């Protein structure tokens, strides 16, 4: 289990005063079907939902165009009701650039996996950010090539077992993972950079907020916006389906720390986010020790 809380810590010691109830129906209207072809326990549908909800909440539906990468999530190209430009592996940021330059009023976003963006297309996303293209890049990062069956990517963490790092990723032999958000945050053209996750309800809520902020950044034409979303891949991680969220928190989540890496002109490194999370965790523990959570 992680020692670092990756989402809000809820006091679950007592039952809530009012029972659970449906406040409003929450099936995203942008889905053409509720069916998908992904594995049980996959985190990508939650990430797609976060994007769809952010677009709906901001009233941007009839301006939305997606430049989609190649990975498991590609199957959503046919089930999400958004104008789509399917891209080759790694190329979505350049394609989105062409779309946005011809349609300056559209809400243009890419959706890529870590293999697509951080392996194959690393220079494309960096150049697009440096150019300050007014578009949003969304990365679904599970630290593995899920579609090929669980192979190491540039974001796989040290020690992670994959089909081509059977004994675990070894820095000396396989090199170190790339913290893509940190790289992008350093670029002048990047206006908003955040890293979220979908391993628990709190994380999903925070991530949806990040996606919303990214789209708002685009609408204000402030520059390039980027949201990385850590997603579960129990199939590619070779673990039981139900263990996905905990595995995410204790492996990927320990390295690719959740938080806003660049917002309102302020850059924060993953190390700083880590330190902040540790401090917050200590504070929360102290509050709990004092008898309950403060507001």
Binding site for another protein (CB under 8 A): 29-30, 32-33, 61-65, 67, 74-75, 77-79, 81-88, 91, 93-103, 106-107, 123-124, 127
Residue 85 CB, nearest distance to another protein (Å)?
Answer: 4
Nearer to another protein, 47 or 70 (CB): 70
Nearer to another protein, 84 or 267 (CB): 84
Residue 70 CB, nearest distance to another protein (Å)?
Answer: 9
Nearer to another protein, 118 or 230 (CB): 118
Residue 120 CB, nearest distance to another protein (Å)?
Answer: 10
- Within 8 A by CB and 6+ apart from 115, the residues are 71, 89, 145, 147, 153
Nearer to another protein, 225 or 277 (CB): 225
C-alpha separations of 16 from 10, 217, 288 in Å: 11, 36, 17
Q: Tokens at residue 139, please?
A: 């990365």
Residue 217 CB, nearest distance to another protein (Å)?
Answer: 18
Nearer to another protein, 124 or 260 (CB): 124
- Asked if 67 contacts 164 with a C-beta cutoff of 8 angstroms, the reply is no
Nearer to another protein, 68 or 230 (CB): 68
Nearer to another protein, 66 or 248 (CB): 66
Q: What angle do CA 278, 256, 238 make, to 5 degrees?
A: 115
Residue 138 CB, nearest distance to another protein (Å)?
Answer: 16
Residue 218 CB, nearest distance to another protein (Å)?
Answer: 13
Residue 67 CB, nearest distance to another protein (Å)?
Answer: 7
Rounded to the nearest 10 degrees, what angle do helices 122-130 and 92-102 cross at? 30
Q: Tokens at residue 284, please?
A: 């929360």
Nearer to another protein, 57 or 170 (CB): 57
Residue 215 CB, nearest distance to another protein (Å)?
Answer: 13
């Amino acid at each position: 289990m992680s020692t670092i809380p990756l989402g809000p810590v809820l006091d679950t010691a007592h039952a809530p005063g009012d029972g659970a109830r449906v406040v409003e129906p929450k099936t995203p209207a942008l889905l053409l079907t509720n069916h998908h072809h992904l594995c049980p326990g996959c985190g990508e549908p939650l990430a797609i939902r976060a994007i769809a909800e952010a677009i709906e909440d901001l009233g941007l539906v009839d301006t939305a165009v997606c430049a989609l990468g190649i990975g498991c999530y590609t199957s959503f190209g046919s089930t999400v009701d958004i104008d789509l430009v399917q891209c080759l592996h790694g190329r979505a940021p350049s394609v989105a650039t062409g779309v946005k330059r011809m349609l300056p009023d559209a809400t243009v976003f890419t959706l890529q996996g870590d293999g697509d963006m951080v392996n194959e297309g690393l220079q494309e996303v960096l150049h697009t950010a440096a150019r300050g293209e007014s578009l949003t890049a969304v990365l679904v990062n599970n630290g593995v090539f899920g579609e090929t069956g669980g192979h190491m990517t540039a974001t796989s963490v040290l020690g992670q077992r994959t089909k081509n790092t059977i004994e675990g990723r070894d820095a000396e032999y396989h090199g170190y993972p790339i913290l893509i958000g940190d790289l992008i945050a350093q670029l002048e053209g990047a206006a908003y950079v955040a890293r979220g996750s979908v391993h628990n309800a709190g994380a999903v809520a925070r991530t949806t907020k990040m996606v919303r902020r990214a789209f708002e950044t685009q609408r204000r034409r402030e520059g390039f916006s980027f949201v990385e979303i850590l997603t579960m891949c129990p199939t590619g991680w070779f673990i039981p389906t139900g263990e996905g969220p905990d595995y995410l928190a204790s492996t990927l989540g320990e390295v690719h720390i959740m938080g806003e890496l660049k917002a309102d002109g302020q850059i924060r490194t993953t190390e700083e986010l880590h330190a902040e999370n540790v401090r917050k965790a200590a504070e929360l523990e102290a509050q709990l020790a004092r008898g309950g959570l403060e507001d």
